[in-house]
Structure 1
Amino acid sequence: MSGTSDGRKSISKTVALIAMCAALYAAAAAATSPIPTPWGVGHFRPGVIVPALFALISTPFVAGTGAAIGTFMASFILATFGLSNPPLSLMSGVPGNFAGFYLLGWLLSRGRTWRSFVSSSIVSLFVGNLIAATGVMLYFSFVVPTWAAWTIGEKLLTILGLTLFWMVTMVPFVIAVVPPLYRGIGPIVSERFAAAVRSDVFGKDRPRDLLYNSLMLFLMFLAIYVGVAMTPFGDAIFGKVIRPEYVFWVKNLFIIAGGTVLAFGLGASLIVNKKISPGSIGRRV
């Protein structure tokens, strides 16, 4: 009987965590939805810090499901103001969010270091946004004649442009905001939802590895910046935007994203190098 009771409690706490993730994500997504994107599709979404945090403190299923439900809730609410399209969300945002944050949770379950957090966040955001961008293209290719008339090359370039735009607007927030949130919220979540959260310490890094990893990722973002800002390829992936005045700022976001990753690596490696206790950069949750 006790085993059955414990199992039910675990399920209840998992459901509660999913509900919390979904509700917080929906609210955060709705708050920044009026900010336009160059293509007029999708939203500027720093609110991804919510499912990223749940990927860090809980399970892949909680993070992925909470993100998928949260993005659809936000779309459904925003549709009443003409700011979103629920059918489009079901085809793009829902699968993209589920896959991206499930993947992030899974990757973090295999490597519990801040170095893996940075790398896994970038990989997961790219994959999730690629799925979402592909869903956007498929949807509009069927319902919007002008999109349907585009060549395969134009569609693929637009998918890449949407993917990079969403990823580069999310990375700085995830890397800069989630670690301190983890430090502050982790103990609270651990106390209330002990059966449904991770119990292992996070953040056992070697300073040199953390710094090297951050430097390599900074150079990657720098290379992408050079590609999108200084070559014809960059003009091609932004060729179908409806707000060209935003393109300059979007391109420069790659420098900001890379700088955020590098700054995090420098700061975290200095903290680790000073041998501050693991609880100062990642508490047990």
Structure 2
Amino acid sequence: MENAHKDQVVIVTGGAGGIGSRIAKTFAAQGARVIIASRDADKLNHVAAEINNQGLACSAKACDVTDPDQVEKLMADTEEEFGRIDVMVNNAGGAMFVKPPEKLRPEQWRAAIDLNLNSVFYCSAAAGQRMIQQGGGRILNISSVAGVKNSPAFVHYGAAKAGVINLTKSMAVCWGPHNINVNCIAPGLTATEGVAQWLPPKTREDGSPVPPLEYPPDPQNVADLALFLAAPGSARISGEIFPIRALNEIV
């Protein structure tokens, strides 16, 4: 896969967060031209500066991906600047409002669906339209194992992530004839910077190391898989769901 990503135009939503920023940095390190999008302009600009200061290519675009008009502008601006969109990484999302379903208010349900499902549709549809015209592309959706198992503490999040999984499978069939691959990565508990602070140490009480598959994956594991799914070696992989959770049963 040497130079497989050189000059690829890659959009990463939720690019200011732990997983999103790692995906962006990993693609940029391989020579891709990365566009990161988020509502948090300050964090977004910080991540872009980190990447650009290494002599790599990253643009920061403030965008609320729950707003289809802002999504369309993001795609149009990217196409105008770079001429194409090769990879669309739908990473924006979050498990907000952790509570049982009977205490979930309608507006909280709608907010969770907007962020975790509707945004994926808006970005995929806008990018997919352009990929059809240009003759192909890759769409990577970041879902969650919450979409394939019960999620009693956040049914809204689990339902949205299950929707992302079905959306992945359906869009893969719709767009396969146009040389567009659509796949989904479904992380479980991931050792982002915030999460790692309350995880137990990687050693047992006797000092022996905890086997890797007994410890949650970190954002780099997700980024490495995303990189592969955007490379020529995965050309015959589409409509698939890839859980990443080691042997950890915590979502």
TM-score interval, smaller chain: 0.3 to 0.5
Q: How high is the TM-score relative to the length of structure 2?
A: 0.37
Q: Which has the higher helix share?
A: 1
Q: How high is the TM-score relative to the length of structure 1?
A: 0.34
